[in-house]
Amino acid sequence: MAGSLIKIDEEIVTSAVASVTLTGIDSTYDVYMVKGNGIVATTANDGYMRVTTSGTPDTTSNYDLAYKGLRTDTTFSNTSNTNQTGFQNVFRWSTTTTSGVSGNGILYLFNFNNASEYSFFTNESTTQWSGGLLGSQGGGVHTVAQSCDGVQFYQLTGNITSGKYSLYGLAK
* DSSP per-residue codes, 27-67: TT-SEEEEEEEEEEESSSPPPEEEEEETTEE--SS-EEEEE
CB contact at 8 A, 45 and 35:
no
What is the predicted pLDDT for the residue at 101? Answer: 65
Q: Looking at residue 159, what DSSP letter applies? A: -
Q: pLDDT tens digits for the chain (172 residues)? A: 556 999 999 999 999 999 999 999 999 999 999 999 988 887 766 689 999 999 999 999 999 999 998 888 888 889 999 999 999 877 765 555 555 567 889 999 999 999 999 999 999 988 876 677 888 899 999 999 999 999 999 988 888 888 999 999 998 7
CB contact at 8 A, 64 and 140:
yes
Question: Where would I find the beta strands (DSSP E) of 61-159?
Answer: 63-71, 77-84, 87-88, 103-110, 118-129, 132-145, 150-154
Rounded to two decimals, the pTM is: 0.91
